């Protein structure tokens, strides 16, 4: 559970232009558009990596195939997932980082978390479960240098407050196929913990 601090003006984050020149220099040459969700009563926090291009365009978290898979893993529909009073979604970088010259995703700029994350996390004092998606979120929240595979394989260690997951992207299909234990063992626990937190 995060400690409550002074009230934070979300409009400051929504207007953030810290990475404007960085994003303009990418292959996508886009402008900042912070995407996040949450209100103080939220009981679940999804700490993700960064918005993709579809989310950048929609302005709503996980409006892409990764979101479809994540909601299936969690066992909930759009109505609950997008209820900001129940679920907060805070990526490590609030904006789409862009693509490089080979159309590969660029990493989340570290200055985003340094600037905004502590203040944003403090706005959600009722969180019971934090779902950590991917290496950037896991390293920041768990203060670990371990690989995603190692962290997810040892998921029991981080309960009851944290549950680490691989990214639900199609890029991880091969990993999921190779590591069938994840969907057999971790996903049922994830669904149980989500339901418990939402009660």
Tokens 């944290």, located at residue: 162
* In the block, residue with structure tokens 């669904």: 191
Separation of alpha carbons 111 and 133, rounded Å: 19
Single pTM value for the model: 0.93
The CATH label, of 3.10.180.10, 3.30.360.10, 3.40.470.10, 3.30.70.560, for the domain at 18-198 is 3.40.470.10
Structural contact between residues 72 and 27, judged by C-beta atoms closer than 8 angstroms? no
Structure token digits, residue 78:
């759009």
Identify whether the C-beta of residue 28 lies closer than 8 Å to the C-beta of residue 7. no
pLDDT in tens, the chain (199 residues): 444 444 677 899 999 999 999 999 999 999 999 999 999 999 999 999 999 999 999 999 999 999 999 999 999 999 999 999 999 999 999 999 999 888 888 999 999 999 999 999 999 999 999 999 999 999 999 999 999 999 999 999 999 999 999 999 999 999 999 999 999 999 999 999 999 999 9
């Amino acid at each position: 559970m995060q400690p409550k601090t002074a009230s934070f003006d979300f409009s400051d984050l929504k207007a953030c232009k810290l990475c404007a020149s960085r994003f303009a220099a990418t292959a996508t040459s886009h402008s900042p558009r912070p995407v996040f969700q949450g209100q103080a009563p939220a009981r679940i926090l999804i700490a993700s990596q960064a918005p993709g291009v579809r989310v950048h365009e929609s302005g709503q978290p996980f409006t892409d195939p990764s979101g479809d898979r994540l909601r299936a893993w969690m066992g909930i529909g759009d109505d609950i997932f997008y209820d900001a009073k129940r679920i907060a979604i805070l990526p490590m970088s609030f904006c789409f980082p862009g693509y490089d010259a080979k159309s590969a995703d660029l990493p989340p700029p570290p200055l985003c978390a340094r600037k905004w994350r502590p203040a944003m996390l403090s706005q959600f004092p009722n969180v019971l479960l934090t779902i950590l998606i991917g290496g950037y979120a896991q390293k920041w929240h768990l203060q670990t240098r371990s690989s995603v595979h190692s962290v997810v394989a040892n998921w029991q260690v981080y309960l009851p407050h944290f549950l680490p997951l691989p990214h639900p992207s199609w890029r991880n299909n091969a990993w999921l196929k190779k590591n069938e234990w994840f969907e057999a063992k971790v996903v049922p626990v994830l669904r149980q913990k989500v339901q418990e937190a939402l009660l």
